[in-house]
């Protein structure tokens, strides 16, 4: 185990979305590549918005994706606890230190007062920064304000000159003027620390060596560096990875369709496909191959090949990758994964009786070759489990528009009835013989038959469908189709 330690620190205020998953993945890949440790920490200092549900959702999404953590919730570790809400005493000590050294100070301004001043500053075209009016309060001032019943917050005393530079592994040096940095709040009036403060303490105490996170945090970084310095902590290395944007170039939000890992799961995407796709957003391997097994990604991953520019996610490519993995996956695994989707559509009973398993599996395997998600497997397999409700209109125009076709289907039915063994091989032989006997091209026979027994113009091999459907069903559907043709022509 090398000394590389990285972390993913989501706040449990919503489900794990694609962007968060990508950040988690890059951290995880970096840890695995370097044989380091991947820490999961829950940043739940926002008591208003944090929920147990989100917490559970995030953990389960991580597990589903296969991004496992070496230290963190449910796992423990040397540097716990891994929930910030359980680390209050640690923060309290740090605050006391800063306060006593006058690197931080108490501020009695209320939320309302602040909001008003911010509004006013904005209106005057000035930056909406805190005016530092509580920075130089005397003990008497503080007493007075406290007697008014005001609950103070703690603010960092930011130097009013100089610069702070972030040495970013991806972007190089990024320098900020200290006078553009606010005396930001590090402890709220309810006693909870804020993100920019707690994260520094925890990252330091947890011995995190590399902070790999989304670019939206780059502007926060100088604030955090100032906290590191005030506390006398050594700095980790920073790497700000590009953001993932929605198709309209804006930040990911619910409005843009599926954004959470959970939703992709529900749509029938495979975890390995999502991981593969996500790894390609903002990072590129050296070779040209883009379908990459996870161990290959781990082996090749490096921060040097992470790009600087934001990426718009494209479901089409994800879908293509998913189709690939769907076809490659182990038959039993794919069957088990597809079952719930068939059940959700009421195509098969839940639980599925053991004696039906084989047939259902064969259907799934026949159909998976031509679809891209588990959900589509269910759509493509529907006619194996229920009656055909409607013949594909385009197919009808092409195949069911002549009365002779009805005669042909009747004749086909006779040929098939004769069969003592009914499988792909025997049915195909019968069909080839029929088309020969009639002196017609196989297509003239095959296409209407496909429509008759599946209701569609596309799908698995015709004779595979027959075998999967069984003799009785095939004969019945053939008869029904021939009748339909006579009635509609």
Partner RNA sequence: GGCCCGUUGGUCAAGAGGUUAAGACACAAGCCUUUCACGCUUGUAACGGGGGUUCGAUUCCCCCACGGGUCACCA
Is residue 192 within the footprint of RNA (CB under 7 A)? Answer: yes
**HSE toward the beta carbon, residue 248, CA cutoff 13 A:** 8
Query: Is 182 near RNA (CB under 7 A)?
Result: yes
Write each residue from 237 to 256 as x if it is in contact with RNA (CB under 7 A), else as -, in one continuous string.
-----xx-x---xxx-----
Nearest to 407 by CA among 482, 298, 472: 482
Instruction: Measure Cα distances from 282 to 15, 56, 244, 312 in Å.
Output: 22, 28, 8, 10
Which CB, 268 or 460, lies closer to RNA? Answer: 460
Considering only residues 40 through 99, tell me which ones interact with RNA, judged by CB under 7 A.
43, 45-46, 48-49
The values of phi and psi at residue 331, to 5°, are: -55, -45
Q: Which of 365, 372, 390 is nearest to 457 (CA)?
A: 390
Which one of residues 157, 185, 337, 339 is an interface residue with RNA (CB under 7 A)?
A: 185
Q: Which is nearer to RNA, 3 or 86 (CB)?
A: 86
* Whole-number Å distance between alpha carbons of 414 and 430: 10
CB of 3 to RNA, least distance (A): 25
Identify which of residues 34 and 45 has a Cβ nearer to RNA in the complex: 45
| Residue 448 binds RNA (CB under 7 A) | no
Residues 441, 447: Cα–Cα separation, whole Å: 11
Tell me how far, at minimum, the Cβ of 479 lies from RNA, in Å.
20
Near RNA by CB under 7 A: residue from 290, 375, 410, 411: 290
| Segment lying near RNA (by CB under 7 A), choices 62-70, 266-274, 343-351, 439-447 | 439-447
CB of 282 to RNA, least distance (A): 4
Residue 142 belongs to what H/E stretch? helix 139-147
Rounded Cα–Cα distance for residues 428 and 435 (Å): 11
Task: For residue 461, state whether it binds RNA (rule: CB under 7 A).
Answer: yes
Site residues (CB under 7 A) for RNA, limited to 372-411: none
The answer to whether the CB of 198 falls within 8 A of the CB of 42 is no
| CB 178 to RNA: min, Å | 10
**Residue 370 is a binding residue for RNA (CB under 7 A):** yes
Contact between 281 and RNA by CB under 7 A: the answer reads yes
Q: Which residues contact 265 (CB under 8 A, 6 or more apart)?
A: 61, 64, 271
Give whichever of 194 and 259 is closer to RNA, judged by the CB atom.
194
Residue 304 engages RNA in binding (rule: CB under 7 A): yes
Residue 437 is a binding residue for RNA (CB under 7 A): no
The residues near 287 (Cβ < 8 Å, ≥ 6 apart) are: none
Q: Per the structure block, which two tokens stand in for 141? A: 């001032």
- Write down the least CB distance from residue 164 to RNA, Å: 10
**Known catalytic residue: 254?**
yes
Out of 138, 161, 234, 309, which residue is the one contacting RNA (CB under 7 A)?
309
C-alpha–C-alpha distance, residues 11 and 43, integer Å: 5
Catalytic residue selected from 119, 254, 386, 402: 254
Instruction: Tell whether residue 218 is a contact of RNA (CB under 7 A).
Output: yes
Interface with RNA, residue 215, by CB under 7 A: yes
Shortest distance, CB of residue 453 to RNA, whole angstroms?
Answer: 11
How many binding residues for RNA (CB under 7 A)? 89
d(C-alpha 73, C-alpha 187), whole Å = 24
Interacting stretch for RNA, rule CB under 7 A, among 212-220, 265-273, 357-365, 384-392? 212-220
Q: Write down the least CB distance from residue 350 to RNA, Å.
A: 28
* Helix orientation angle between 88-100 and 195-205, rounded to the nearest 10 degrees: 110
Identify whether the C-beta of residue 313 lies closer than 8 Å to the C-beta of residue 280. Answer: no
Q: What is residue 431's three-state secondary structure? A: helix
User: By CB under 7 A, is residue 220 in contact with RNA?
Assistant: yes
Only segment of 75-83, 175-183, 332-340, 396-404 that touches RNA (CB under 7 A): 175-183
Examine residue 180 and tell whether it contacts RNA (CB under 7 A): yes
Distance CA 213, CA 219 (A): 12
Site for RNA in 107-166 (CB under 7 A): 109-111, 114, 118, 125, 127-130, 151, 153
Say which DSSP state 72 is in. B
CB of 355 to RNA, least distance (A): 27
Give the Cβ contact number of residue 116 at 10 Å.
12
Question: CA dist 130 to 62, 127, 170, 241, Å?
Answer: 39, 9, 31, 30
Q: ∠ at Cα 246 (243, 247), nearest 5°?
A: 125
Q: Is 190 in the site for RNA (CB under 7 A)?
A: yes
* Candidate list 230, 280, 297, 475; residue touching RNA; CB under 7 A: 280
Using CB under 7 A, which of 68, 101, 216, 436 touches RNA?
A: 216
Q: C-beta of 351: minimal distance to RNA in Å?
A: 30
Taking alpha carbons only, the member of 147, 165, 310 closest to residue 242 is 310
Closest by CA to 43, choosing from 200, 223, 172, is 200
Q: List, by residue number, the catalytic residues.
A: 254
């Amino acid at each position: 185990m090398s000394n590389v330690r990285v972390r993913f620190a989501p706040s449990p205020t919503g489900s794990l979305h694609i962007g968060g998953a990508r950040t988690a993945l890059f951290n995880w890949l970096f840890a695995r590549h370097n044989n380091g440790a991947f820490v999961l920490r829950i940043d739940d200092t926002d008591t208003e918005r944090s929920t147990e549900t989100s917490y559970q959702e995030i953990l389960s999404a991580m597990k589903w994706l296969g991004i496992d953590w070496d230290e963190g919730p449910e796992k423990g570790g040397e540097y716990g606890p891994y929930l910030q809400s359980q680390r209050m005493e640690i923060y309290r000590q740090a605050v006391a230190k800063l306060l006593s050294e006058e690197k931080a100070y108490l501020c009695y301004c209320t939320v309302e007062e602040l909001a008003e001043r911010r509004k006013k500053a904005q209106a005057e075209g000035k930056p909406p920064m805190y005016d530092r009016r509580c920075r130089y309060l005397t003990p008497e001032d503080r007493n007075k304000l406290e007697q008014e019943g005001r609950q103070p917050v703690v603010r960092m005393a930011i130097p009013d000159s100089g610069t702070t530079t972030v040495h970013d592994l991806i972007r190089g040096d990024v320098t900020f003027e200290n006078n553009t940095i606010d005396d930001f709040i590090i402890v709220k009036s309810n006693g909870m620390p804020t993100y920019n403060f707690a994260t520094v303490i925890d990252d330091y105490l947890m011995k995190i060596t590399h902070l790999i996170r989304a670019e939206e945090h780059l502007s926060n970084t100088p604030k955090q560096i100032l906290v590191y310095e005030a506390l006398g902590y050594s700095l980790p290395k920073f790497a700000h990875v590009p953001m993932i944007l929605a198709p309209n170039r804006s930040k990911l939000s619910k409005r843009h369709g599926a954004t959470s890992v959970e939703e992709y799961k529900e749509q029938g995407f495979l975890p390995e496909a999502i991981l593969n796709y996500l790894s390609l957003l903002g990072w590129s391997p050296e070779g040209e191959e883009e379908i990459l097994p996870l161990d290959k990604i781990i082996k090749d991953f490096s921060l040097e090949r992470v790009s600087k520019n934001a990426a718009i996610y494209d479901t089409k490519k994800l879908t293509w990758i998913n189709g690939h993995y769907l076809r490659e996956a182990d038959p039993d695994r794919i069957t088990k994964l597809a079952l719930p989707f068939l059940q959700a559509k009421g195509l098969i009973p839940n639980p599925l009786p053991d004696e039906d398993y084989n047939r259902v599996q064969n259907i799934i395997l026949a159909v998976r070759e031509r679809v891209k998600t588990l959900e589509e497997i269910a759509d493509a397999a529907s006619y194996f489990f229920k009656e055909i409700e409607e013949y594909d209109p385009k197919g009808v125009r092409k195949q069911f528009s002549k009365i002779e076709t009805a005669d042909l289907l009747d004749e086909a039915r006779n040929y098939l009835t004769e069969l003592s063994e009914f499988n792909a091989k025997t049915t195909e032989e019968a069909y080839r013989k029929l088309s020969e006997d009639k002196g017609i091209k196989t297509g003239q026979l095959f296409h209407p038959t496909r429509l008759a027994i599946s209701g569609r113009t596309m799908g698995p091999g015709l004779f595979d469908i027959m075998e999967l459907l069984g003799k009785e069903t095939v004969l019945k559907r053939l008869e029904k189709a021939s009748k339909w043709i006579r009635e509609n022509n």
